[in-house]
Amino acid sequence: MSDGRNDSYRGCYVCGPENEAGLRLPFRKDAGGGSRADYLARPEHAGWPGIVHGGLLFTLMDEAVAWACTYAGSRCVTAKAEARFRVPAQIGVPLVITGRVTHTTSRALRARAEVRRGDDNGPLVAELDAMMAIAKDKPEVSR
């Protein structure tokens, strides 16, 4: 697509536009070939009062690295991921989620995701380093 978005995973919990229970958060290709999304957490996404649940932040970063791999030309699944949470993310504060591929082999890609508060230069909220296994078979995707 010309805008860098890919809506082929219509039922995905994070990005699927047809998942009524999901976040419906579109990721798009950024200028550097990675992925990017802008997110504003709602009160129902809290773990503690006023704080975004860490599992949701992990999920957003996992999605970012998956889209970065897709934009790099490989459909991948997460084989291993390590997250670091730097500062709490507050409900109602804009977040930027980015992902990029850092290394490629014939069987896997390494990728990194970041969540920043406010904009691309905002404080680092969380980061994830992942090993992404290249999927050998492409699953059927319903549209």
Q: How many domains does the chain have?
A: 1
Cα separation, 15 vs 137, in Å, equals 21
Q: Who has greater pLDDT, 83 or 139?
A: 83
The answer to pTM > 0.75 is: yes
Instruction: Specify the pLDDT at position 3.
Output: 43
> Within a domain: residue 113?
yes
In a domain, 2, yes or no: no
Residue 8 carries which side chain, given as an amino acid letter?
Answer: S
- pLDDT of 49: 95
pLDDT tens digits, residue range 111-123?
999 999 999 899 9
Largest CA distance in the chain: 44
Q: Return the CATH number at 53.
A: 3.10.129.10
What would the pLDDT profile of 23-79 be if each residue is shown by its tens digit? 888 999 999 999 999 999 999 999 999 999 999 999 999 999 999 999 999 999 999
Q: Note down the domain range covering 57.
A: 29-134
